[in-house]
Structure 1
Amino acid sequence: MSQIPFAATRPVSVARVGLKAWDAETVASYYRQVVGLEELSRDASAITLGVGSRALLEIEADKSAKPDDPRGAGLFHTAFLLPSRADLGRWIKHAIANKIGVDGASDHLVSEALYLTDPEGNGIEIYVDRPHETWNWQGSQVDMATNQLDIQSIVDSVPAGSPDWKGAPENSVVGHVHLRVGDPAEAERWWNSEMGFDTVKNYGAQAVFLSSGGYHHHIGANSWQSQGAGRRDESRTGLTFVEMRSAKATAEEIREDPWGTVIRTVPDRA
């Protein structure tokens, strides 16, 4: 059995993400069939998906909600981190066999990733990390890039005769969450001061990446589509919360970032 990824062993890590959906059943079906999550529970208002006993995504149903505004603050993507490169290879073979549409694919030096969009416009990343010992740091900044992904090499990493994709494997986690914000510098200050995160990469004035405990990033924040965006419109679909797991937390804490995005912190019960 594979180990829990490095991202989830840091002092603070991403636990799960909340979405509001106009058609929660269709959105949940996409995450089951495409991402490979399992339905863990449901009630009158929400469907919870995850892997094993680990909840990763909560989808709230709201038939009165307006569509998300991609130019506003909110979710850029939820990034599902698989435990091994072979797991990503199995997912790619599954995507090819099932003609799953992919928006993009990139080699980020620290990780290898593919990108999708769910039926209501929420971005998704499915990725695997390279060993953290191989990441290149320039002082406090980690080297990341957007290079062409060698998909064949990833597919070839699947051992001959090993099982096909049967859904997200045990120890899959939400490795990071990438947010749309109105001002990355303001987001950086907030995550530094309120959450104690370290800045690990700046892409000019338009994007910043932050983490806990030397990960390449647990949080990304960009203004590529959302420069100058104000507070989120809570009547729209899309992101409702990001839940972080903290080794120092003794009780649940709830904060809002400068755009009204709810950031929960819960104790690490592992």
Structure 2
Amino acid sequence: MNVPPTIPYLQLPAERIGQAPPHHTLPATVRLSTVTLQINDLDASLDYYTRIIGLHLHQQEGRTARLGTPDGQILLELREKKGVKYAPHRGRLGLYHFALLLPTRDDLARFVRNALSLGVHVGAGDHHFSEATYLQDPDGISIEVYRDRPREDWQVTEGGEIVGRGDPLDLQALAATASTTPWTGLPNGTTIGHMHFYVGDLDNAARFYHAGLGFPKVTWSFIAPFGLFMGAGGYHHHIGVNTWAAGSAPSGENDARLLTWDLVLPDQTTLDRTIASLHAEGFATTTTTDGVLASDPWGITVRLRTL
């Protein structure tokens, strides 16, 4: 691939970052929130997500648990369904991974140091805009834990595409930079940074996430022809999609899988515009007591709600 010339991110006016959706554009103030997973064994999952990932248990009712940051921000809900099948790598359409964004590089370094000390297998990559680690829960569901580089360190093309890469990241070197502050789990300020999905094709994925929900396209050629990144407010991506499992069936009722993910909008006006945009693209919405549900062509369901 011929890589076009790049310039520092901040040299390009904000309105020239990415490709705008046709109907409406989500504002920079949107945020991703609770990810709800269907898992096989709640006890095993709670041990993994608290001891290894570092989430804090806040609520448990029956075989459902809610976890998050020390100050009570709920990032993950686990719902047990005994007997669900292990999530096969690139074997189902649906969740590729959900990503936990840490506030600082030292948070990531201490997370890595702790995970390595527990003997956990950790994958890693340097994406230029972020440093990322990858882990797998007891059901085969993938989790990214990462930190962002400052935007002044990002690169873009003159056409407004954010430069993304998949370079190696030395985990031992990263862990060696960790401060002596003890690891007590994920800190306040940790958020759901992005969601990444296996989809059947990029055009229909863009119709839902870009044209429907309103996320601008921000990286396209660097991960072509198998992927697309979309993000609001010039972010490197809130949504990633890839076709690595194209041809597979969507995750089903008896699979370990993503049930819903939450997109939190700043106000009712933005919610109404997003619903209208989805309808304009032919996607149905369902209003419930705790938000508005919409599903992409492969059954991946987002819950839209306001602050």
Normalised by the length of structure 1, the TM-score is 0.89
Determine which structure has the larger strand proportion and give its number: 1
Paired residue for 2:120?
100
Shift of 1:151: 3.2
Distance, in Å, in 1 between the alignment partners of 2:43 and 2:117 is 24
Q: What is the letter of the counterpart of residue 90 of structure 1?
A: R
Paired residue for 1:110?
129
Distance, in Å, in 1 between the alignment partners of 2:188 and 2:93 is 32
Distance 1:87 1:233, change over 3 A: same
Paired residue for 2:305?
266
Q: What is the letter of the counterpart of residue 59 of structure 1?
A: L
Paired residue for 1:37?
55
Paired residue for 1:142?
162
What's the CA shift string for 1:1-44, capped at 9, x where partnerless? xxxxxxxx932221121110111220121010111001110112
CA contact (8 A) 1:85 1:157 kept: no
Distance, in Å, in 1 between the alignment partners of 2:202 and 2:249 is 13
Q: How does 1:147-158 map to 2 (within 5 A)?
A: 147-158=167-178
**Pairing 1:56–2:56 present:** no
Paired residue for 1:4?
none
5+ residue gaps, structure 1: 1-8
Distance, in Å, in 1 between the alignment partners of 2:212 and 2:175 is 41
CA contact (8 A) 1:245 1:267 kept: yes
| Matching residue within 183, 195, 200 for 2:213 | 195
Shift of 1:153: 4.7
Q: Tell me how large the CA RMSD over aligned residues is.
A: 1.8
Distance, in Å, in 1 between the alignment partners of 2:166 and 2:150 is 18
Normalised by the length of structure 2, the TM-score is 0.78
SS in 1 for 2:32: strand
Distance, in Å, in 1 between the alignment partners of 2:193 and 2:209 is 17
Shift of 1:230: 4.5
Q: What is the letter of the counterpart of residue 208 of structure 1?
A: L
Shift of 1:231: 4.2
Q: How does 1:169-184 map to 2 (within 5 A)?
A: 169-184=187-202
Distance, in Å, in 2 between the alignment partners of 1:109 and 1:153 is 17
Identical pairs, percent: 33
Shift of 1:171: 0.6
**Pairing 1:255–2:294 present:** yes
Distance, in Å, in 1 between the alignment partners of 2:83 and 2:114 is 35
Shift of 1:69: 4.3
Shift of 1:154: 2.9
Q: What is the letter of the counterpart of residue 303 of structure 2?
A: R
Shift of 1:64: 4.3
Distance, in Å, in 1 between the alignment partners of 2:82 and 2:171 is 39
Q: What is the letter of the counterpart of residue 73 of structure 2?
A: R
Shift of 1:131: 0.5
CA contact (8 A) 1:74 1:232 kept: yes
CA contact (8 A) 2:141 2:256 kept: no
Paired residue for 2:257?
238
Distance, in Å, in 1 between the alignment partners of 2:37 and 2:113 is 28
Paired residue for 1:218?
238
CA contact (8 A) 1:13 1:212 kept: no
Task: Report how many residues are paired.
Answer: 256
CA contact (8 A) 1:181 1:229 kept: no
Shift of 1:96: 2.3
What's the CA shift string for 1:128-148, capped at 9, x where partnerless? 100123211223310010111
- Structure ID, larger Rg: 2
